Amino acid sequence: MAQIVRFHETGGPEVLKLETVELPLPSAGELRISIKAIGLNRADAAFRTGRFREMPVLPSRLGEEASGVIERIGDGVTGFKIGDRIATIPSFSQAKYGVYGDSAIVPMHCAVACVEGLSFAENAAIWMQYLTAWGGLVKTAKVGKGDFVLISAATSSVGLAAIQIARTLGARPIALTRTSAKRTALETAVPGTPIVFTQEQDLETEIARLTDGKGARVVFDPVGGSTFGNLAKAAAAGGILVVYGGLSTEPTLLPTFPLIMKGLTVRGYGMSEISRDPVALSEGKAFVLDGLRKGLFRPVIARMFPLSEIVAAHRFLESNGQVGKIVVQVAD
């Protein structure tokens, strides 16, 4: 029997229930994992509320990112054995699979060996953030040495990963966050990175000052909404605005004249572009693993919760109070 998190109706964090169920054996091409840690993502909350790209089949599990130890192997699985420490790359349907619990079945293609020297908690806090940032900055925007890069929602796990990646590429990241409330935590997480507080400072003026009037060649934004036009005003001529989320509930307004006068490109992007492309996924994994092994990247964990407090963990996820990744620890 396994302790898993399910929901029987869509809604707020309170719909999540920790239940005891019998977990089946893995089918062909699947692994069963004894879960040690779970990484929480915005996609999990969107799926729980019924506002995701796929709808849950109730009662539904949820979650795409976790680390643990293989306890069962289905037919046809290669490259793994019982006892291996693995993490999951978010690359499967939450409507079919889900990793919230002390045991989970996942498809073989999502499994990757845990990074040596990192804890289970840290291994559960790697793949969504670093692959999302790699795909947006490297694959899509072609960030290079000397580029100024604006990173919105810089206190998020993806934002922090993007700053680390931009630095390794020789670029000059600028962190954007709404207020100075998280200044100390952000300065600790990414020391030396310039920070602009978008609700307390004039964005266009500050970016012009920090870039010697040039503006930023790349904007990496998960927010959208009515303030998106300010990012376009802060962009450099010929710049690209990569939009990878819609955290704002307001319509995203495209400012006509900055787009025309600067020749800007607005590019929608999602990490699924990488996870569905075997070549891109292989490149992204190699890049991320190299950075982790060299100590250039290190996931920042904002807070850890026990599995019994999954509702509180989701409430914290939606509070926007975190700097880094929220992790649920299932076992040591």
Q: How confident is the model over 198-254, as pLDDT tens digits? A: 999 999 999 999 999 999 999 999 999 988 999 999 999 999 999 999 888 899 988
How many C-beta neighbours within 10 Å does residue 192 have?
A: 7
DSSP secondary structure code for residue 135 in this structure: I
Site of tokens 């982790």: 292
Pick the CATH number of 128-273 from 3.90.70.10, 3.30.1330.20, 3.90.180.10, 1.10.150.170: 3.90.180.10
Q: Count of alpha carbons within 13 Å of 139, Cβ hemisphere only?
A: 25
Q: How confident is the model at residue 1 (pLDDT cuts 50, 70, 90)?
A: confident
Mean local confidence (pLDDT), 18-35: 96
The pair of structure tokens assigned to 294 is 């060299």
The pair of structure tokens assigned to 86 is 């693995």
The pair of structure tokens assigned to 255 is 């400012």
Mean local confidence (pLDDT), 17-25: 94
Mean local confidence (pLDDT), 111-133: 97
For CATH 3.90.180.10, list the domain ranges present in the chain: 2-126+300-329, 128-273
Amino acid at site 327: V
In the predicted model, is pLDDT for residue 332 greater than 80? no
DSSP secondary structure code for residue 250 in this structure: S
The secondary structure of 24-35, three-state, reads: CCCCCCEEEEEE
Exposure string (b/e) for 31-46, b if CB count within 10 Å is 16 or more? Answer: bbbbbbbbbbbbbbbb
CATH domain 2-126+300-329 topology = Quinone Oxidoreductase; Chain A, domain 1 (3.90.180)
Q: How confident is the model at residue 324 (pLDDT cuts 50, 70, 90)?
A: very high
Site of tokens 């994994």: 285
Query: DSSP alpha helices (H): ranges in 144-275?
Result: 157-168, 183-189, 203-210, 228-234, 256-262, 272-275
Identify the pLDDT of residue 53: 85
Q: Compute the distance between CA of residue 162 and CA of residue 150 in angstroms, rounded to an integer.
A: 10
Mean local confidence (pLDDT), 11-29: 96
